[in-house]
Structure 1
Amino acid sequence: MKDTDIKKIFNILAVDDDLLISKKGDVSLVYKVMLPQIYSLDSDQIEQISVIFDKVIRSLPAGTILQKQDFFFVDAITEHVSESRNFLSASDNRFFHEKPTMSHECYLTIIKDSKSKVSILNNSSQYNKYLDGIDDFIKAVESSLSFLTKEGFFTVERLNNDQIIALLGKYLSLSKEGETNLRDMFFDKNLQIGNKFAELYTISSNNQLPITINSTIKSIEYSTPKTDFRIPFIQPVSTGLDVNHIYNQVIFIEDSEKVFSSLKTKMNQFKSMAILSRENQVTYQQVEDLVEDVLERELTFIYQHFSVIVWNVSQKKLEHDVNLLENAFRDLGITPYQVKYALKELYMNNCPGAPAYISENHKFIGISEQTSSLLNFESYYESNKDGILFCDRKNESPLRLDLWDEPVKKGIIVNRNRLIFGPSGTGKSFLINHIASQYYEQGHHIVMIDIGNSYKKLCELVDGVYFTYDLNSPLQFNPFYYYDEDEINIDKKTFLLSLIFFLWKGEEGASREEKQILSSYLDLYYEHVIRNGIFPCMSTFYEFISENTAVEEESSYFDKISFKLSLKDFYDGHYKDILNAAEPANLIHERFIVFEMDNIKDHPILFPLVTMLCINLVMTKIQKIPGEKKSIFIDECWKPISKGEMAEFIKYLYKTVRKFYGEVAIATQDLEDILDTAAGPAMVNNTDTLIMLSHKKKMASKDKFSKYLSLSESDLQKLYSTDKGEVYVKVGSMSNVYKVKVSPERYACYSSNADENKVIRGIYEAKGNMSVAINDFIDLNSQKK
């Protein structure tokens, strides 16, 4: 096998002044394009992008070649996924190191075709005159590309000299690094570059395509009997193909009349030969229908060429990859041509900036509007700098999803609150553990209110504070207490009103007059406390109301006897210790706090009361540290505080948290849990982020999700495509599905498996260190395998 002298066949002459110049004078501008994430686009958006790209083609001058190249590389994770040295963060780096994945880069080369009229090698003075028109060409290109950027789907960045050279290196070495020291090249029926073996497939005729091409197709993997999960038509051979490959897409923008004239000639040829064969008759009819459609709709004719290069480091591995590619083409109804005899020409002519060299017999006529269905407009998932560590569902690559700062800065959301829905058995507490642990590692103050000890291991691992309510030794609170007079504000009074009305009336609503009178009592009480140095607590407030009158004739609207009887237990009765603590807990500097309510979950008074008091304690804390990030997770415990007058408390909670740089994450199993409460509308209206685990067994809720959570048909397709271990996340109007894959250390910390927890708990009690207990548990498991 004889190698080829690259200098003789290389069509590129120079890279100069951020321009790519071919040997016959074609001048190219080169751009890197950031594309939308895979699975993030719905059918309407894909159609919208098709229209946008059609505008780009129509706006470029005749004689322009648009070359789009998508590079897909089989890759491995080598960089740390976390900079923290925390026990769990360090385990992430070990777990993901060297995991296989895919990476993608997209480049757009816009070429001014010299039509071979001017050659830089033969007539430099004439060529310099030709270059005088380049400025106008650059302006036209930039104007056209503005269609891509203004809708927000794409980010376009023009490459400089060094970046263009690196791109040429990527193509000519078939490597992500973009080697500039070129390898030996062989084109003897198979393409070989250095140690890489490759095959090249082309689409250069309409006969190779299915009769009809839609912009989207149904994904069998992610669709359900009631939902169609739509993906772009070409995805199976682009982002859906998990092998090293380059997808070349070349569009030749000519004068549409000239293309039409060429097409009429072909029509006449087929018409004259139609009598000889049925195939010619069919071809003639297809071309005639195409022409009529274009003329009727005033569309634009173009020439086009598509090719795929697939490679690997051995022939055996390449055969496997080629089978995957051919199967993908077959599923799409495409019959590509496997290039053998024009391999050298087609490979070199598809080099960035060189498509003007592609011969006429490898081009075919198309319509600009339909061509976009054959273009790739997706990339893999994009990772944020900070956020929750998930994996993309396509390649299981680790990525950060920022639900905190970036969406607010971009105006995608106006609050950070979130609703978490996880039907039984889908891993709701596992997911919340995962989110809370990472937020703690990133500096958040975390408060969790829970039933079931789901977060005890995590709390012990980070040396947090764990409160378990004990009926024999109850937690003591004092919501009336204040450290500074400026704490006696509208937020505090709103909370106290909700608390007192709950103790007085339960779920029964209060009248406007009762609210006004009790509010007046609170104002008078705090004036009395400040003026006379009275200790603020439930008992002194009870006594103040007993001994005073707030407004004239209040007895007509305010039943003081009922009030006193309802609250007497909290004054000097069975619950007198709960609301009269002499030294309220100071949790300002505690960064991880868990309130466990399992012991009182069935108590009709203590459960909602203590939940409210815990939240108020947290409210006092967060107001003292306004610049710190604060996350409050309420797992199921929100139900008893969302009834009757408690709806006002929910509104108070959301408002206060938002004002002090925080979030409330309310978790539940079913949407009905939210809808069946008075606070439901307030919770939904004040929540811009939805996190939902697999709902495949909840198809009956489809219409309710659409109506009450404003989920579009595309959102529902994504939601119902999720399996166990996956999570649907909607931030504002943007949504996608992510995988929850964690290290063995995180799994042991989050697991709710009773047998596993028994082993971990036993080790912890013996050694007194949760990280040691988790490591020992992992070692025991590995010995069993």
Structure 2
Amino acid sequence: MKSETIESIFPIYAIEDDLIVSKKGDISVAYKLTLPQIYSLDTEDINRINQLFDKLIRSLPENTVIQKQDYFFIDSIKEGISKGDHMLCRSDNKFFYEKPTLSHECYLFITKDSKKKIGITSSPKLYEKYMEEVDSFLKVVSASMSFLAKEDYFTIQKINTDEILEVIGKYFSLSNSGEQSLKDLFFDKRLQVGNQVGEMYAITSYDQLPLTIESTKKNIDFSTQKTDFQIPFIQPICLGLECNHIYNQVIYIDSSKSIFSKLKTKLNQFKSLAILSKENEVTYDQIDKLVSDSIEKELRFVNQHFNIIIWNTSEDRLENNKHQLENSFKELGIVPYQIKFSLKDLYINNAPGAAVYIPENYKFIGISEQTPIFLNLESYYKGNKDGILLSDRKNGAPVRLDLWDEPLKRGLIVNRNRLIFGPSGTGKSFLINHIASQYYEQGHHIVMIDIGNSYKKLCQLVKGQYFAYDPDMPLQFNPFYFSEIAEVNNDKKVFLTSLILFLWKGDDPCMREEKQIVGLYLDAYYDHLSSDSSLFPCMSSFYEFVDKNTVLEDEERYFDKISFQLSIRDFHDGKYGQILNSRKQINLVQERFIVFEMDNIKDHPVLFPLVTMLCIDVVMGKIRKIPEVKKSIFIDECWKPISKGEMAQFIKYLYKTVRKFYGEVAIATQDVEDILDTPAGPAMINNTDTMILLSHKKKMAAKDKFAQFLSFSESDLEKLFSTDKREVFVKVGSVSNVYKVNVSPERYACYSSNADENKLIYDIYNEKKNMKLALREFVENN
């Protein structure tokens, strides 16, 4: 076989002024596209993006080539993914080290076809004259790309000379490193680049395609009896293909006259042959319908070419990749053409900026409205620098999800509050442990109010403060106390009003007049305290103040003071007298991890809601003193008792106050009905922009409630009900997707609620008095 030098077949002459110049004078401008995350698009989104690319095609002049290249590389994690010296951070880096991952990059090259094929090397003067005509072309391209860049679906970045060289290096080395030195190329019925062996499959004719093609297809794995999970039609051979590959998509915007001429010729050929073959008759009908529809709808004809290059380092692995690709084509009903004898021409001329030279017999006619169906519209999960460490559901690669700063900057949310729904057995406390531990590692102050000791191991690991309420030795609070009178602001009085009305009325409704009079007593009480330094602010002194004073003429018409005193007396000098009259304040300002465990009083109708409210008020006092620090409050199942009657006002107070002081409230429960069935439910939902839900496959009956009360779209519901165990649906504002909760063995041991596993861990802990050692020994022995 005669050998050729790479210089003789290399199609690129130069990269100048951030433009690719081919040897025949074609000029290409290059862009890098960031596409939406895989599984994030619904049918409406996909159709909208198709329309955008249709408009892009229509906006460009004749003799333009659009070349879209998607590079998919198998890689592995080499760098640490978690910062810090915490045990769990180090376990992340060890767990994910050298884990196989898939990366994706997308580039768009828009080429002005010179048509005259000016030989640069032989006619530099003619080429200079031609370059003068390029400016108007570049202005049109820039305007078209600006239109595309305005959309929220993707970002578009024009790339410079160095970046173009890197992409060309990736293509000709079949390597993610973008090597600049060219490797040996062989094309003897199989592609070989250095030590890589590869194959090319192409779509070059409508005969290879199914009779009907929709923009989306149903994903069987993620669909249920009540939901159809839709993905882009072409996904199985793009992101669905788990091997090294490049997907080339080339669109030729030629003159309509020349394309119609080709169509007319084909139409006549098939018409004359229809009598000989039923297949030719079908093809004739297809082309006839295509022409009729295009004329009627004023659509634009284009020529198009699509191919996939796959490669690997060994023949055996390449054979496995071929089987995978061929099965994906079968799933789509496409019969690809495996390129053998024209491999050199197609590989060389699919290089960035060289697609003008793809042979005519490898192109086929299409319509600009339908062509985008064959374009890859998605990318792998893109993570943030900070946030919660999760994994993408496609290949388990680590992804950081920023729910704190990035959504606010993008305008997706106006508050950071969250609702977390996890039916029994889906891992709700496991997920909350995971979020809380990482936020602690990233500098947050964490407060958790819980029933069930779900967060004790984590608290002990980070040496936080763990308060388990004991009725015999109760925690002592004093919500009336202030160190400076300025602390008694309107928010404080709203809380105290809710607290007093709860102690007086319980779950019974109160009249508006009663609420106003309690507020007037609080105003008068604090005015009196400011002038009488001998009085100590507490429940008892407030009780006595109400007993001895009035704040309104004829107040007895609206305010039953005897009822008030009888209900409150136990908190003045009765059996609960210790709880609200403490002279020693709980100082938690410097504590970064705090757990209030309510399991011992979870069934007490008074103490449970009361202590929960008091714990939150202590936290409110803490967060006001550190406004610049990130603060996260997790209330797991404890919110129910404080969401009834007048307590709904407390929920509003809580959300409002936290938002003002750089914080968030995350309220967790098992079912959405738990929220909807409480008076505070609407307030909680209206003040929560982030929803986190674990698998709801067994809760399909709640589908309509999610749509009605949580404003979930059909696309949100498809994603939600596709989730399986250890997967989590996250909706931030209007954007939603599904992630895996994939953790290291050390994190699993720390978060697990399995009774047998916890017994083993606590046996070690009780012996060594060190949770880090206990978790490590458990992992090593199990």
What is the aligned partner in structure 2 of residue 622 from structure 1? 623
What is the aligned partner in structure 2 of residue 662 from structure 1? 663
What is the aligned partner in structure 1 of residue 108 from structure 2? 108
Of residues 1-10 and 402-411 in structure 1, the stretch that sits farther from structure 2 once superposed is 1-10
What is the aligned partner in structure 1 of residue 598 from structure 2? 597
Residue deviations 1:37-60, cap 9 Å, x none? 000111100000000000000000
Partner-residue secondary structure (3-state), 1:369 = coil
Map 1:459-498 to 2 at 5 A.
459-498=459-498
Q: Distance in 2 between matches of 1:698 and 1:664?
A: 25
Counterpart check, 1:234 vs 2:234: yes
Q: Distance in 1 between matches of 2:499 and 2:2?
A: 87
What is the aligned partner in structure 1 of residue 66 from structure 2? 66
What is the aligned partner in structure 2 of residue 708 from structure 1? 709
What is the aligned partner in structure 2 of residue 94 from structure 1? 94
Residue deviations 1:505-562, cap 9 Å, x none? 0011111111111111000000111101110000000000000001000000000000
What is the aligned partner in structure 2 of residue 386 from structure 1? 386
Q: Distance in 2 between matches of 1:618 and 1:93?
A: 33
What is the aligned partner in structure 2 of residue 585 from structure 1? 586
Shift in Å at residue 118 of structure 1?
A: 1.8
Counterpart check, 1:613 vs 2:614: yes
What is the aligned partner in structure 1 of residue 677 from structure 2? 676
Structure 1: 5+ residue stretches without partners = none
Q: Is the 8 A contact 1:390 1:401 kept in 2?
A: yes
Distance change in 2, residues 1:3/1:574 (3 Å) = farther
What is the aligned partner in structure 1 of residue 139 from structure 2? 139
Shift in Å at residue 182 of structure 1?
A: 1.2
Q: Is the 8 A contact 1:413 1:731 kept in 2?
A: yes
Shift in Å at residue 121 of structure 1?
A: 2.1
Shift in Å at residue 255 of structure 1?
A: 1.5
Counterpart check, 1:520 vs 2:520: yes
Structure 2: 5+ residue stretches without partners = none
Q: Is the 8 A contact 1:4 1:184 kept in 2?
A: no
Q: Distance in 2 between matches of 1:655 and 1:624?
A: 16
What is the aligned partner in structure 1 of residue 334 from structure 2? 334
Shift in Å at residue 135 of structure 1?
A: 1.3
Q: Is the 8 A contact 1:2 1:186 kept in 2?
A: no
Shift in Å at residue 279 of structure 1?
A: 2.0
Q: Distance in 2 between matches of 1:282 and 1:611?
A: 73
Partner-residue secondary structure (3-state), 1:67 = strand
Q: Distance in 1 between matches of 2:355 and 2:314?
A: 29
What is the aligned partner in structure 1 of residue 695 from structure 2? 694
Distance change in 2, residues 1:2/1:619 (3 Å) = farther
Q: Distance in 1 between matches of 2:24 and 2:350?
A: 15
What is the aligned partner in structure 2 of residue 150 from structure 1? 150
What is the aligned partner in structure 1 of residue 246 from structure 2? 246
Q: Distance in 1 between matches of 2:176 and 2:87?
A: 33
Residue deviations 1:425-459, cap 9 Å, x none? 00000000000000001110000000000000000
Q: Distance in 2 between matches of 1:4 and 1:699?
A: 64
Shift in Å at residue 283 of structure 1?
A: 1.1
Shift in Å at residue 327 of structure 1?
A: 0.5
Distance change in 2, residues 1:4/1:770 (3 Å) = farther
Q: Distance in 2 between matches of 1:134 and 1:405?
A: 43
Q: Distance in 1 between matches of 2:482 and 2:671?
A: 38
Partner-residue secondary structure (3-state), 1:179 = coil
Task: Output the aligned Cα RMSD.
Answer: 0.8
Counterpart check, 1:291 vs 2:291: yes
Q: Is the 8 A contact 1:216 1:232 kept in 2?
A: yes
Q: Is the 8 A contact 1:294 1:367 kept in 2?
A: yes
What is the aligned partner in structure 1 of residue 256 from structure 2? 256
Partner AA of 1:710 in structure 2: S
Q: Distance in 2 between matches of 1:64 and 1:177?
A: 30
What is the aligned partner in structure 2 of residue 43 from structure 1? 43
Residue deviations 1:199-230, cap 9 Å, x none? 00111111111111111000011001110000
Map 1:349-360 to 2 at 5 A.
349-360=349-360
Shift in Å at residue 658 of structure 1?
A: 0.5
Residue deviations 1:349-374, cap 9 Å, x none? 10111111111101000000100000
Partner AA of 1:255 in structure 2: S
What is the aligned partner in structure 2 of residue 12 from structure 1? 12
Partner-residue secondary structure (3-state), 1:81 = coil
Residue deviations 1:105-158, cap 9 Å, x none? 101000000113422122110110000011111111011112321111111111
Partner-residue secondary structure (3-state), 2:369 = helix
Q: Distance in 2 between matches of 1:762 and 1:625?
A: 38
How does the TM-score come out when normalised to structure 2?
0.99
What is the aligned partner in structure 2 of residue 414 from structure 1? 414
Q: Is the 8 A contact 1:70 1:248 kept in 2?
A: yes
Q: When the two structures are aligned, how many residues end up with a matched partner?
A: 781
Partner-residue secondary structure (3-state), 2:495 = helix
How does the TM-score come out when normalised to structure 1?
0.99
Q: Is the 8 A contact 1:64 1:252 kept in 2?
A: yes
Counterpart check, 1:21 vs 2:17: no
Q: Is the 8 A contact 1:248 1:307 kept in 2?
A: yes
Q: Is the 8 A contact 1:4 1:185 kept in 2?
A: no
Q: Distance in 2 between matches of 1:530 and 1:410?
A: 46
Shift in Å at residue 779 of structure 1?
A: 1.2
Shift in Å at residue 3 of structure 1?
A: 5.7
Q: Distance in 1 between matches of 2:308 and 2:63?
A: 24
Partner-residue secondary structure (3-state), 1:82 = coil
What is the aligned partner in structure 2 of residue 121 from structure 1? 121
Shift in Å at residue 257 of structure 1?
A: 2.7
Counterpart check, 1:768 vs 2:774: no
Shift in Å at residue 262 of structure 1?
A: 1.7
Partner-residue secondary structure (3-state), 2:499 = helix
Q: Distance in 1 between matches of 2:492 and 2:279?
A: 83
Shift in Å at residue 2 of structure 1?
A: 7.0
